[in-house]
Structure 1
Protein backbone atom coordinates (compact mmCIF):
# COMPACT_ATOMS: atom_id res chain seq x y z
CA UNK A 1 0.00 0.00 0.00
CA UNK A 2 1.50 3.34 -1.14
CA UNK A 3 4.82 1.61 -1.75
CA UNK A 4 5.10 -0.04 1.67
CA UNK A 5 5.53 -3.68 2.66
CA UNK A 6 5.10 -5.82 5.79
CA UNK A 7 2.56 -3.36 7.15
CA UNK A 8 1.36 -5.76 9.87
CA UNK A 9 4.91 -6.22 11.16
CA UNK A 10 5.40 -2.45 11.12
CA UNK A 11 2.25 -1.88 13.20
CA UNK A 12 3.18 -4.58 15.71
CA UNK A 13 6.75 -3.34 16.07
CA UNK A 14 5.54 0.25 16.39
CA UNK A 15 3.13 -0.69 19.17
CA UNK A 16 5.88 -2.46 21.08
CA UNK A 17 8.17 0.54 20.68
CA UNK A 18 5.45 2.91 21.88
CA UNK A 19 4.94 0.85 25.04
CA UNK A 20 8.60 1.28 26.05
CA UNK A 21 8.81 3.86 28.88
CA UNK A 22 10.56 7.17 28.36
CA UNK A 23 10.24 10.92 29.05
CA UNK A 24 7.03 11.17 27.00
CA UNK A 25 5.25 8.43 28.97
CA UNK A 26 6.41 9.86 32.28
CA UNK A 27 5.14 13.32 31.39
CA UNK A 28 1.70 11.99 30.45
CA UNK A 29 1.41 9.92 33.63
CA UNK A 30 2.57 12.79 35.84
CA UNK A 31 0.19 15.36 34.35
CA UNK A 32 -2.85 13.06 34.28
CA UNK A 33 -2.28 11.82 37.84
CA UNK A 34 -1.95 15.38 39.13
CA UNK A 35 -4.58 17.19 37.04
CA UNK A 36 -6.83 14.55 35.46
CA UNK A 37 -7.37 13.01 32.03
CA UNK A 38 -7.67 16.34 30.20
CA UNK A 39 -4.16 17.33 31.28
CA UNK A 40 -2.76 13.93 30.30
CA UNK A 41 -4.51 14.17 26.94
CA UNK A 42 -3.01 17.64 26.37
CA UNK A 43 0.48 16.22 27.04
CA UNK A 44 -0.22 13.28 24.70
CA UNK A 45 -1.44 15.57 21.90
CA UNK A 46 1.66 17.74 22.31
CA UNK A 47 3.83 14.63 21.98
CA UNK A 48 1.85 13.60 18.90
CA UNK A 49 2.40 17.04 17.36
CA UNK A 50 6.13 16.68 18.01
CA UNK A 51 6.09 13.27 16.33
CA UNK A 52 4.40 14.83 13.28
CA UNK A 53 7.29 17.30 13.05
CA UNK A 54 9.83 14.45 13.16
CA UNK A 55 7.95 12.44 10.53
CA UNK A 56 7.70 15.39 8.13
CA UNK A 57 11.34 16.34 8.74
CA UNK A 58 12.49 12.80 8.00
CA UNK A 59 10.29 12.57 4.90
CA UNK A 60 11.70 15.84 3.58
CA UNK A 61 15.30 14.86 4.32
CA UNK A 62 15.90 17.27 7.21
CA UNK A 63 16.63 14.44 9.61
CA UNK A 64 19.29 13.18 7.21
CA UNK A 65 20.97 16.58 7.46
CA UNK A 66 20.75 16.37 11.25
CA UNK A 67 22.36 12.94 11.14
CA UNK A 68 25.14 14.12 8.82
CA UNK A 69 25.97 17.30 10.74
CA UNK A 70 27.66 16.73 14.09
CA UNK A 71 27.24 20.40 15.00
CA UNK A 72 23.49 20.46 14.26
CA UNK A 73 22.96 17.23 16.16
CA UNK A 74 24.86 18.57 19.18
CA UNK A 75 22.90 21.82 19.25
CA UNK A 76 19.51 20.06 19.13
CA UNK A 77 20.69 17.44 21.62
CA UNK A 78 21.81 20.07 24.13
CA UNK A 79 18.57 22.03 23.71
CA UNK A 80 16.58 18.89 24.39
CA UNK A 81 18.75 17.96 27.37
CA UNK A 82 18.42 21.46 28.81
CA UNK A 83 14.64 21.31 28.53
CA UNK A 84 14.47 17.91 30.23
CA UNK A 85 16.69 19.21 33.03
CA UNK A 86 14.44 22.27 33.34
CA UNK A 87 11.36 20.04 33.60
CA UNK A 88 13.07 17.89 36.20
CA UNK A 89 14.13 20.85 38.32
CA UNK A 90 10.70 22.47 38.09
CA UNK A 91 9.11 19.25 39.38
CA UNK A 92 11.68 18.85 42.13
CA UNK A 93 11.35 22.44 43.33
CA UNK A 94 7.60 22.92 42.84
CA UNK A 95 5.74 23.75 46.03
CA UNK A 96 2.50 21.92 46.59
CA UNK A 97 -0.68 24.01 46.73
CA UNK A 98 -2.14 24.34 50.20
CA UNK A 99 -5.71 25.28 51.01
CA UNK A 100 -6.10 28.80 52.29
CA UNK A 101 -6.37 29.01 56.08
CA UNK A 102 -9.20 30.93 57.73
CA UNK A 103 -9.81 32.65 61.03
CA UNK A 104 -7.29 32.10 63.77
CA UNK A 105 -5.49 29.44 61.72
CA UNK A 106 -4.33 31.97 59.13
CA UNK A 107 -0.75 33.10 59.22
CA UNK A 108 1.33 35.87 57.61
CA UNK A 109 3.22 33.23 55.63
CA UNK A 110 -0.03 31.95 54.14
CA UNK A 111 -1.04 35.48 53.17
CA UNK A 112 2.32 36.19 51.55
CA UNK A 113 2.53 32.88 49.63
CA UNK A 114 -0.54 32.46 47.41
CA UNK A 115 -1.16 29.01 45.90
CA UNK A 116 0.42 28.37 42.52
CA UNK A 117 -2.14 27.98 39.72
CA UNK A 118 -2.04 24.61 37.95
CA UNK A 119 -0.61 24.48 34.44
CA UNK A 120 -3.10 25.18 31.66
CA UNK A 121 -3.82 22.56 28.95
CA UNK A 122 -1.98 24.79 26.47
CA UNK A 123 1.12 24.90 28.68
CA UNK A 124 0.99 21.13 29.18
CA UNK A 125 0.58 20.65 25.41
CA UNK A 126 3.74 22.70 24.83
CA UNK A 127 5.60 20.67 27.45
CA UNK A 128 4.74 17.48 25.58
CA UNK A 129 5.60 19.06 22.22
CA UNK A 130 9.01 20.36 23.33
CA UNK A 131 9.91 17.18 25.20
CA UNK A 132 9.42 15.23 21.97
CA UNK A 133 10.52 17.63 19.25
CA UNK A 134 13.79 18.63 20.98
CA UNK A 135 14.98 15.02 21.21
CA UNK A 136 17.15 14.44 18.10
CA UNK A 137 17.21 10.69 18.72
CA UNK A 138 13.49 10.55 17.89
CA UNK A 139 14.28 12.05 14.47
CA UNK A 140 17.09 9.55 13.90
CA UNK A 141 14.83 6.71 15.04
CA UNK A 142 12.32 7.49 12.29
CA UNK A 143 15.13 7.85 9.79
CA UNK A 144 16.47 4.38 10.68
CA UNK A 145 13.23 2.49 11.36
CA UNK A 146 10.61 3.60 8.83
CA UNK A 147 12.61 3.15 5.57
CA UNK A 148 12.90 -0.58 6.30
CA UNK A 149 9.19 -0.88 5.43
CA UNK A 150 9.28 1.20 2.22
CA UNK A 151 9.62 -0.68 -1.08
CA UNK A 152 12.58 0.15 -3.27
CA UNK A 153 10.22 0.76 -6.20
CA UNK A 154 7.77 2.96 -4.26
CA UNK A 155 6.38 5.69 -6.56
CA UNK A 156 6.87 8.31 -3.83
CA UNK A 157 9.13 7.40 -0.93
CA UNK A 158 8.26 10.64 0.90
CA UNK A 159 4.53 9.85 0.71
CA UNK A 160 5.16 6.28 1.88
CA UNK A 161 7.22 7.65 4.78
CA UNK A 162 4.46 10.05 5.82
CA UNK A 163 1.87 7.25 5.54
CA UNK A 164 3.87 4.95 7.84
CA UNK A 165 4.66 7.81 10.20
CA UNK A 166 0.97 8.66 10.47
CA UNK A 167 0.16 5.04 11.36
CA UNK A 168 2.92 4.98 13.97
CA UNK A 169 1.72 8.26 15.47
CA UNK A 170 -1.94 7.17 15.51
CA UNK A 171 -1.08 3.98 17.39
CA UNK A 172 1.12 6.00 19.69
CA UNK A 173 -1.75 8.35 20.48
CA UNK A 174 -3.96 5.39 21.40
CA UNK A 175 -1.32 4.18 23.85
CA UNK A 176 -0.64 7.67 25.20
CA UNK A 177 -4.32 8.29 25.90
CA UNK A 178 -4.57 4.92 27.62
CA UNK A 179 -1.68 6.06 29.83
CA UNK A 180 -3.51 9.34 30.47
CA UNK A 181 -6.67 7.46 31.49
CA UNK A 182 -4.75 5.12 33.79
CA UNK A 183 -2.92 8.04 35.37
CA UNK A 184 -6.16 9.97 35.87
CA UNK A 185 -7.91 6.98 37.46
CA UNK A 186 -4.98 6.31 39.79
CA UNK A 187 -4.71 9.98 40.72
CA UNK A 188 -8.44 10.23 41.47
CA UNK A 189 -8.31 7.15 43.71
CA UNK A 190 -5.52 8.48 45.92
CA UNK A 191 -6.19 12.22 45.76
CA UNK A 192 -8.52 12.40 48.78
CA UNK A 193 -6.63 9.92 50.94
CA UNK A 194 -4.87 11.05 54.06
CA UNK A 195 -1.47 10.13 52.70
CA UNK A 196 -2.11 11.47 49.19
CA UNK A 197 -0.30 14.79 49.77
CA UNK A 198 3.07 13.34 50.88
CA UNK A 199 2.76 10.59 48.27
CA UNK A 200 2.15 13.13 45.50
CA UNK A 201 5.08 15.20 46.74
CA UNK A 202 7.49 12.27 46.69
CA UNK A 203 6.21 11.00 43.35
CA UNK A 204 6.71 14.47 41.89
CA UNK A 205 10.26 14.51 43.21
CA UNK A 206 10.89 11.03 41.85
CA UNK A 207 9.62 12.00 38.41
CA UNK A 208 11.68 15.19 38.54
CA UNK A 209 14.79 13.12 39.31
CA UNK A 210 13.99 10.83 36.36
CA UNK A 211 13.65 13.81 34.01
CA UNK A 212 16.98 15.11 35.28
CA UNK A 213 18.50 11.71 34.60
CA UNK A 214 17.07 11.61 31.07
CA UNK A 215 18.40 15.13 30.43
CA UNK A 216 21.90 14.35 31.66
CA UNK A 217 22.01 11.07 29.72
CA UNK A 218 20.92 12.86 26.54
CA UNK A 219 23.52 15.59 27.04
CA UNK A 220 26.33 13.08 27.59
CA UNK A 221 25.33 10.71 24.77
CA UNK A 222 27.34 10.80 21.56
CA UNK A 223 25.81 7.94 19.57
CA UNK A 224 24.06 9.07 16.39
Structure 2
Protein backbone atom coordinates (compact mmCIF):
# COMPACT_ATOMS: atom_id res chain seq x y z
CA UNK A 1 0.00 0.00 0.00
CA UNK A 2 2.78 2.42 0.93
CA UNK A 3 4.59 1.71 -2.35
CA UNK A 4 1.42 2.50 -4.30
CA UNK A 5 1.06 5.82 -2.52
CA UNK A 6 4.70 6.76 -3.18
CA UNK A 7 5.02 5.79 -6.82
CA UNK A 8 3.01 4.74 -9.89
CA UNK A 9 2.90 1.02 -10.81
CA UNK A 10 5.96 -0.61 -12.47
CA UNK A 11 4.39 -0.49 -15.95
CA UNK A 12 3.97 3.28 -15.67
CA UNK A 13 7.48 3.70 -14.30
CA UNK A 14 8.91 1.72 -17.23
CA UNK A 15 6.92 3.76 -19.77
CA UNK A 16 8.02 6.99 -18.11
CA UNK A 17 11.67 5.93 -17.90
CA UNK A 18 11.65 4.91 -21.58
CA UNK A 19 10.17 8.22 -22.71
CA UNK A 20 12.54 10.14 -20.45
CA UNK A 21 15.59 8.31 -21.80
CA UNK A 22 14.57 9.00 -25.41
CA UNK A 23 14.09 12.67 -24.63
CA UNK A 24 17.36 12.93 -22.70
CA UNK A 25 19.19 11.35 -25.63
CA UNK A 26 18.09 14.26 -27.82
CA UNK A 27 20.74 17.00 -27.96
CA UNK A 28 19.05 20.06 -26.48
CA UNK A 29 20.56 23.13 -24.85
CA UNK A 30 21.76 21.22 -21.78
CA UNK A 31 23.35 18.44 -23.81
CA UNK A 32 25.01 20.96 -26.11
CA UNK A 33 26.39 22.83 -23.11
CA UNK A 34 27.81 19.63 -21.58
CA UNK A 35 29.19 18.63 -24.98
CA UNK A 36 30.89 21.99 -25.46
CA UNK A 37 32.28 21.84 -21.91
CA UNK A 38 33.69 18.41 -22.64
CA UNK A 39 35.32 19.65 -25.83
CA UNK A 40 36.89 22.60 -24.02
CA UNK A 41 37.85 21.05 -20.68
CA UNK A 42 37.87 17.31 -21.22
CA UNK A 43 35.67 14.50 -19.94
CA UNK A 44 35.63 15.70 -16.32
CA UNK A 45 34.42 19.16 -17.33
CA UNK A 46 31.65 17.59 -19.42
CA UNK A 47 30.52 15.47 -16.47
CA UNK A 48 30.70 18.47 -14.13
CA UNK A 49 28.49 20.45 -16.52
CA UNK A 50 25.99 17.57 -16.55
CA UNK A 51 25.97 17.52 -12.74
CA UNK A 52 25.21 21.25 -12.70
CA UNK A 53 22.35 20.72 -15.13
CA UNK A 54 20.95 17.95 -12.91
CA UNK A 55 21.05 20.25 -9.87
CA UNK A 56 19.06 22.82 -11.81
CA UNK A 57 16.52 20.15 -12.74
CA UNK A 58 16.03 19.35 -9.04
CA UNK A 59 14.77 22.91 -8.57
CA UNK A 60 12.37 22.67 -11.53
CA UNK A 61 11.00 19.30 -10.39
CA UNK A 62 10.44 20.64 -6.86
CA UNK A 63 8.49 23.62 -8.23
CA UNK A 64 6.41 21.35 -10.46
CA UNK A 65 5.58 18.98 -7.60
CA UNK A 66 4.65 21.80 -5.22
CA UNK A 67 2.72 23.68 -7.90
CA UNK A 68 0.61 20.72 -9.00
CA UNK A 69 -0.03 19.70 -5.40
CA UNK A 70 -1.21 23.21 -4.56
CA UNK A 71 -3.42 23.37 -7.65
CA UNK A 72 -5.06 20.07 -6.76
CA UNK A 73 -5.76 21.24 -3.23
CA UNK A 74 -7.44 24.37 -4.58
CA UNK A 75 -9.26 22.64 -7.43
CA UNK A 76 -9.30 18.83 -7.80
CA UNK A 77 -10.00 19.15 -11.54
CA UNK A 78 -6.76 21.11 -12.02
CA UNK A 79 -4.83 18.03 -13.12
CA UNK A 80 -7.04 17.72 -16.19
CA UNK A 81 -6.39 21.37 -17.07
CA UNK A 82 -2.66 20.91 -16.54
CA UNK A 83 -2.61 17.79 -18.71
CA UNK A 84 -4.42 19.48 -21.61
CA UNK A 85 -2.14 22.51 -21.36
CA UNK A 86 0.79 20.11 -21.26
CA UNK A 87 -0.44 18.38 -24.42
CA UNK A 88 -0.57 21.71 -26.26
CA UNK A 89 2.93 22.58 -25.07
CA UNK A 90 4.31 19.17 -26.09
CA UNK A 91 2.82 19.59 -29.57
CA UNK A 92 4.55 22.95 -29.84
CA UNK A 93 7.83 21.30 -28.78
CA UNK A 94 7.30 18.61 -31.42
CA UNK A 95 6.91 21.26 -34.11
CA UNK A 96 9.93 23.21 -32.86
CA UNK A 97 12.10 20.08 -32.79
CA UNK A 98 11.00 18.97 -36.27
CA UNK A 99 11.76 22.35 -37.83
CA UNK A 100 14.90 23.15 -35.80
CA UNK A 101 18.16 23.66 -37.63
CA UNK A 102 21.32 21.98 -36.25
CA UNK A 103 23.21 24.14 -33.78
CA UNK A 104 26.88 24.21 -34.70
CA UNK A 105 27.89 26.66 -31.99
CA UNK A 106 29.71 25.82 -28.78
CA UNK A 107 26.63 26.48 -26.58
CA UNK A 108 28.71 28.43 -24.10
CA UNK A 109 30.76 25.51 -22.87
CA UNK A 110 32.93 25.93 -19.79
CA UNK A 111 36.46 24.62 -19.31
CA UNK A 112 37.22 24.26 -15.59
CA UNK A 113 35.31 21.83 -13.35
CA UNK A 114 33.98 24.50 -10.99
CA UNK A 115 32.97 26.78 -13.83
CA UNK A 116 31.30 23.93 -15.70
CA UNK A 117 29.29 22.92 -12.61
CA UNK A 118 28.20 26.49 -11.84
CA UNK A 119 27.33 27.41 -15.39
CA UNK A 120 25.49 24.14 -15.96
CA UNK A 121 23.37 24.82 -12.86
CA UNK A 122 22.65 28.46 -13.73
CA UNK A 123 21.97 27.69 -17.41
CA UNK A 124 19.37 25.09 -16.47
CA UNK A 125 17.94 27.04 -13.54
CA UNK A 126 17.30 30.17 -15.60
CA UNK A 127 15.82 28.31 -18.57
CA UNK A 128 12.01 28.63 -18.26
CA UNK A 129 11.55 26.03 -20.99
CA UNK A 130 12.93 23.34 -18.67
CA UNK A 131 10.39 24.17 -15.97
CA UNK A 132 7.55 24.27 -18.50
CA UNK A 133 8.58 20.94 -19.98
CA UNK A 134 8.80 19.21 -16.60
CA UNK A 135 5.41 20.64 -15.64
CA UNK A 136 3.96 19.27 -18.89
CA UNK A 137 5.76 15.91 -18.71
CA UNK A 138 5.43 14.64 -15.13
CA UNK A 139 1.66 14.99 -14.43
CA UNK A 140 0.63 12.78 -17.34
CA UNK A 141 2.21 9.77 -15.62
CA UNK A 142 0.69 10.50 -12.19
CA UNK A 143 -2.63 8.89 -11.30
CA UNK A 144 -4.81 10.54 -8.61
CA UNK A 145 -6.63 7.22 -8.27
CA UNK A 146 -3.51 5.70 -6.71
CA UNK A 147 -3.22 8.33 -4.00
CA UNK A 148 -1.50 11.72 -3.60
CA UNK A 149 -0.02 13.02 -6.84
CA UNK A 150 2.92 14.90 -5.29
CA UNK A 151 4.85 11.80 -4.08
CA UNK A 152 4.30 10.12 -7.45
CA UNK A 153 5.65 13.15 -9.30
CA UNK A 154 8.62 13.36 -6.94
CA UNK A 155 9.55 9.75 -7.73
CA UNK A 156 9.10 10.35 -11.46
CA UNK A 157 11.15 13.54 -11.24
CA UNK A 158 13.98 11.72 -9.47
CA UNK A 159 14.02 9.07 -12.22
CA UNK A 160 14.06 11.75 -14.92
CA UNK A 161 16.89 13.66 -13.23
CA UNK A 162 18.96 10.50 -12.69
CA UNK A 163 18.62 9.23 -16.27
CA UNK A 164 19.29 12.74 -17.55
CA UNK A 165 22.45 12.98 -15.44
CA UNK A 166 23.78 9.66 -16.77
CA UNK A 167 23.03 10.46 -20.41
CA UNK A 168 24.19 14.09 -20.33
CA UNK A 169 27.36 13.01 -18.52
CA UNK A 170 28.00 10.47 -21.27
CA UNK A 171 27.62 13.17 -23.92
CA UNK A 172 29.98 15.45 -22.02
CA UNK A 173 32.58 12.73 -21.42
CA UNK A 174 32.59 11.61 -25.06
CA UNK A 175 32.42 15.10 -26.50
CA UNK A 176 36.19 15.50 -26.87
CA UNK A 177 36.26 12.60 -29.33
CA UNK A 178 32.78 12.55 -30.82
CA UNK A 179 31.56 16.14 -30.42
CA UNK A 180 31.67 16.93 -34.13
CA UNK A 181 29.79 13.75 -35.05
CA UNK A 182 27.08 14.45 -32.45
CA UNK A 183 26.42 17.86 -33.96
CA UNK A 184 26.46 16.41 -37.49
CA UNK A 185 23.58 14.05 -36.64
CA UNK A 186 21.59 16.58 -34.64
CA UNK A 187 18.92 16.94 -37.33
CA UNK A 188 18.14 13.21 -37.09
CA UNK A 189 17.91 13.29 -33.29
CA UNK A 190 15.69 16.38 -33.53
CA UNK A 191 13.25 14.37 -35.65
CA UNK A 192 13.25 11.59 -33.04
CA UNK A 193 12.50 14.18 -30.36
CA UNK A 194 9.60 15.54 -32.43
CA UNK A 195 8.11 12.06 -32.70
CA UNK A 196 8.44 11.47 -28.95
CA UNK A 197 6.91 14.86 -28.08
CA UNK A 198 4.04 14.22 -30.48
CA UNK A 199 3.46 10.75 -29.03
CA UNK A 200 3.37 12.13 -25.49
CA UNK A 201 0.86 14.79 -26.54
CA UNK A 202 -1.34 12.12 -28.15
CA UNK A 203 -1.14 10.04 -24.98
CA UNK A 204 -2.44 13.01 -23.01
CA UNK A 205 -5.33 13.64 -25.38
CA UNK A 206 -6.39 9.99 -25.70
CA UNK A 207 -5.97 9.05 -22.02
Tell me the TM-score range normalised by the shorter chain.
0.5 to 0.7
* 1:63 Cα deviation from its structure 2 partner: 11
* 1:144 Cα deviation from its structure 2 partner: 1.3
Q: Which of 118, 134, 139 is the aligned partner of 1:147?
A: 139
Matched-pair contact (CA < 8 Å) for 1:3–1:151: no
Partners of 2:165 and 2:139 lie apart in 1 by 21
Find out whether 1:169 has 2:156 as its counterpart.
Answer: no
Q: Counterpart of 2:100?
A: none
Matched-pair contact (CA < 8 Å) for 2:39–2:176: yes
Q: Counterpart of 2:196?
A: none
Find out whether 1:45 has 2:51 as its counterpart.
Answer: yes
Q: Secondary structure at the match of 2:145?
A: coil
Q: Which of 4, 8, 32 is the aligned partner of 1:4?
A: 8
- Change over 3 Å in CA distance of 1:10–1:25 after alignment to 2: same
Find out whether 1:138 has 2:130 as its counterpart.
Answer: yes
Find out whether 1:13 has 2:19 as its counterpart.
Answer: yes
Partners of 1:58 and 1:34 lie apart in 2 by 33
Deviations 1:73-131 (A, max 9, x none): xxxxxxxxxxxxxxx8995xxxxxxxxxxxxxxxxxxxxxxxxxx84312211111111
Between Structure 1 and Structure 2, whose CA radius of gyration is higher? 1
* 1:154 Cα deviation from its structure 2 partner: 3.4
- Change over 3 Å in CA distance of 1:150–1:89 after alignment to 2: closer
Matched-pair contact (CA < 8 Å) for 1:63–1:143: no
* 1:3 Cα deviation from its structure 2 partner: 4.1
* 1:8 Cα deviation from its structure 2 partner: 1.1
- Change over 3 Å in CA distance of 1:60–1:186 after alignment to 2: same
* 1:22 Cα deviation from its structure 2 partner: 1.3
* 1:153 Cα deviation from its structure 2 partner: 2.3
Q: Secondary structure at the match of 1:24?
A: helix
Q: Counterpart of 2:192?
A: none
Q: Counterpart of 1:61?
A: 67
Matched-pair contact (CA < 8 Å) for 2:21–2:164: yes
Residue-pair matches, total: 143
Deviations 1:133-171 (A, max 9, x none): 111121111111111111112333211111100001111
Partners of 2:63 and 2:36 lie apart in 1 by 29
Q: Which of 108, 114, 118 is the aligned partner of 1:122?
A: 114
Partners of 2:150 and 2:133 lie apart in 1 by 16
Q: Counterpart of 1:181?
A: 173
CA root-mean-square deviation: 3.1
- Change over 3 Å in CA distance of 1:49–1:27 after alignment to 2: same
List structure 1 runs of 4+ shifted beyond 4 angstroms: 62-65, 88-91
